[in-house]
Structure 1
Amino acid sequence: MSESDGSAETSNAMVDRVPGGRPVLWFLVEGNRVLVAGAMLAVSYVILVALGEFGPGSISKLFDPAPISAVFTPTIIGIIMGVTLVLTFNQFVLAEELGPVDEQRERMAGALEFRRDAEDAVDRTTSPPEPSAFLRGLVEATGDRADELLAALESSPDLDESVREDVREYAEGIAVDADRVADSLEGKEFGRFEVVKAALEYNYSWKIYTGNRVRNRHEGALPDAVDDELEELLEVLGFFGPAREHFKTLYFRWEIITLSRALAYLALPALAVSAYMILVFEVGDVTGTTAGFDHGLLIIGLCFAVGVTPFAIFLSYILRIVTVAKWTLAIGPFILRETDRGSDVGWK
């Protein structure tokens, strides 16, 4: 069975592994977080206005200041508490960057050691400092190893045809997918989701498992040259996981800091609008209708959407962070999502 066969959860393309396809993927992780928050606010606004106009109850309640105060007073409290909570959480993120010099030296030594090991694995003397270029180099190295594995197959004329076909399907699948992901990583700037997205596209866990399965299935039948090339391919794949997890962690910190800045910018305008609705706004001063909708209801719904904008921004960022965290809980050849491979994924 080739690597690309089977369930959507083990597909190479990330969009094929997400139930709901492209729209759900855009909402969860791909879309600009401001646009996602705007979409959530627009839906909330439409629901509020529609229920206010057509739902059970009386719109005359709008002329009583008590309901308005009851809505916007908790909004102010929620804004203050939410922003304080996020900024406090941001301090824990920043605390990871603080520490005595010996801890910083250990972090530096660990990073340098990993880079040296990765350079040795891909036969390079110097690895690039940019995350996208580093990951692209590892992906390209897996493609190169796959090509060398195919060349070793061609140099083994006595190999059984069924074994040859099994190894060829595995190597060709990796070579094609490596080219696709390497192109998507080219020129990407860290801090934007495109780097993490491209890294998520490379389904390295399934590639490691499939490679081990192919190797163990034909143990003793593979020539030394083919076995050695397969071993080197699996070694390079093993470096991609820790590299992706490291850059994913850095991206999470980046996102949390960006979220904190966004909330700091939005908190005061949202508080000002909410305070205006409590202290100044009078529904009786707003008369008339538009397309059958009372102007007072439209304005209150709009101000409510503005008041909860910090919450919507918070939700949009956290939605992406927790989604990516869920997709990458396991490192290495472990796949947490359900597959339809049946007994083929059992112990061998």
Structure 2
Amino acid sequence: MGSAETDEPLESHGTDIGSQADSLTRVREWVLVEGDRTVIAASISLLVFGFFLGLIEIGIISVTNDDSVTRLAGGMIAGTFSLVTLVVSINQLILSQEFASGNDARDQLEGIMDIRSDIATQATVPATPASPTKLLELLIETIATQASELADTATAHDDEHSELIQRFVHSIEASTERTHDTLEHTTFGTFTAVSTAIGYDAAWQLYVARQLRGRYDDSSETATRLEALIETLELFLTAREHFKTTYLQRELTRFSQLTIYCGIPAVLAAMTLGLLYGGFSGTMISGSYLPYVVSALIAVVVSPLSLLASYILRTAAVTHRTASIGPMLPQKEPDAGPFEVSADGEPDS
């Protein structure tokens, strides 16, 4: 790698919050992770209603043939039952993670308490907050403080990597300020807290900090500051994974409940659709209202599928963005900077 003057800016290469550049990206982010899942599901059902109503109005499909509609209703009933069965299986999988023996429960508790103790030590506070959001805030504040102390130390000693460290610290300060402002106005009950924590690119910062740490002797004060920052970033990543898992368990449990709530009306709507054509003289309602009624019943039938789509979109997006832990960055280009490592394992400078 070239000198400090030719290094790439030490900025996040991940999904840092506040980086959406255009309206299309913001819409995509809202649909994938930020939007309320019930609103997304309702929107999908409304689109289905409009889609079928439009096809009927322009004459592409017809709802006057009782045989075809009743076959469709039968298929919908079978499909809805299959979907509900799938959701019950997902719910059983979630519940299986909650069952633990006494020893396993103790080990889990001790692990969580050890993490909280380490966070309290790093943040120099008597005890960590009970609220997950406040705990993440504390970690973000600690990262910002340690980064500022790192910059002061590097400047005071006027070492050869001072410029790199200053740029790195500037990037951290910008990220932590945005993240802290968002966390300050959210609670863990909403997805905003988890989304904000996921958006904070601690993995990239850990990668840079470890690269910078390798340029200093163990006796250096700057190395000591970097080690403290590295440990706090590792704690942040650990806490984020724990909270993400906890939230996704709650999210999938909520999805199971909503699917059951929608499953019963969906089955009844499919039955009603078939019974509409049960009269000897054809449909039981006027032909002018038939397209609206049929389209509405189909929208109700697909509501469990809409819920499945909305929740899977979010869980898949979250899992994709946190597929690796630590400075393993699959979203980075192979030749993306700012550091390279030579064949002998030493970072180029």
Q: TM-score range by the shorter chain?
A: 0.7 to 0.9
In the superposition, relative to structure 1, how do residues 12 and 18 fare at CA in structure 2: closer, same or farther (>3 Å)? farther
- Give the letter aligned to residue 26 of structure 2: R
Q: Is the 8 A contact 1:205 1:332 kept in 2?
A: yes
What is the root-mean-square deviation in Å for CA atoms of aligned residues?
A: 2.4
Aligned to 1:38: 42
Aligned to 1:188: 186
Q: How does 1:157-168 map to 2 (within 5 A)?
A: 158-160=158-160, 163-168=161-166
Shift of 1:73: 1.3
Q: Is the 8 A contact 2:45 2:299 kept in 1?
A: yes
Distance in 1 between the 2:104 and 2:213 partners? Answer: 41
- Give the letter aligned to residue 103 of structure 1: D
Shift of 1:212: 2.1
Shift of 1:344: 4.5
Distance in 2 between the 1:280 and 1:11 partners? Answer: 51
Cα displacement string for residues 111-142 of structure 1 (whole angstroms, at most 9, x for unaligned residues): 11121122222222201111111111111100
Distance in 1 between the 2:295 and 2:333 partners? Answer: 45
Aligned to 2:344: none
SS in 1 for 2:11: coil
Alignment partner of 2:9 out of 2, 20, 30? 2
- Give the letter aligned to residue 87 of structure 2: V
Shift of 1:189: 2.3
Cα displacement string for residues 162-217 of structure 1 (whole angstroms, at most 9, x for unaligned residues): x221110101211221122122112532232111111012100111112222333x
Distance in 2 between the 1:205 and 1:197 partners? Answer: 15
Aligned to 1:117: 118
Q: How does 1:135-146 map to 2 (within 5 A)?
A: 135-146=136-147
Stretch deviating more after TM superposition (125-134 or 112-121):
112-121
Q: How does 1:165-184 map to 2 (within 5 A)?
A: 165-184=163-182
Distance in 2 between the 1:254 and 1:267 partners? Answer: 20
Distance in 2 between the 1:344 and 1:17 partners? Answer: 23
Aligned to 1:86: 87
Aligned to 1:227: 223
- Give the letter aligned to residue 54 of structure 1: I
- Structure 1 unmatched runs, 5+: 289-294
In the superposition, relative to structure 1, how do residues 19 and 225 fare at CA in structure 2: closer, same or farther (>3 Å)? farther
Cα displacement string for residues 288-337 of structure 1 (whole angstroms, at most 9, x for unaligned residues): 3xxxxxx4223211110011111101211111111101110100011111
Q: Is the 8 A contact 1:79 1:267 kept in 2?
A: yes
- Give the letter aligned to residue 145 of structure 1: Q
Aligned to 2:236: 240
Distance in 1 between the 2:336 and 2:321 partners? Answer: 21
- Give the letter aligned to residue 245 of structure 1: E
Alignment partner of 1:25 out of 24, 29, 33? 29
Alignment partner of 2:247 out of 242, 245, 251? 251
Aligned to 2:210: 212
Stretch deviating more after TM superposition (238-247 or 76-85):
76-85
In the superposition, relative to structure 1, how do residues 314 and 320 fare at CA in structure 2: closer, same or farther (>3 Å)? same
Cα displacement string for residues 244-287 of structure 1 (whole angstroms, at most 9, x for unaligned residues): 00111101110111011111211111211111111235547323
Aligned to 1:292: none
Q: Is the 8 A contact 1:63 1:284 kept in 2?
A: no
- Give the letter aligned to residue 9 of structure 2: S
Distance in 2 between the 1:112 and 1:121 partners? Answer: 14
Shift of 1:95: 1.9
Alignment partner of 2:300 out of 306, 321, 325? 306
SS in 1 for 2:320: helix
Aligned to 1:264: 260
- Give the letter aligned to residue 109 of structure 1: E
Cα displacement string for residues 76-101 of structure 1 (whole angstroms, at most 9, x for unaligned residues): 11212211221222122112222221
Alignment partner of 2:310 out of 313, 316, 329? 316
Shift of 1:20: 4.7
Give identity over the alignment, percent. Answer: 25
Distance in 2 between the 1:64 and 1:260 partners? Answer: 35
- Give the letter aligned to residue 177 of structure 1: S
- Structure 2 unmatched runs, 5+: 1-7, 342-346
- Give the letter aligned to residue 100 of structure 1: S
Distance in 1 between the 2:265 and 2:178 partners? Answer: 44
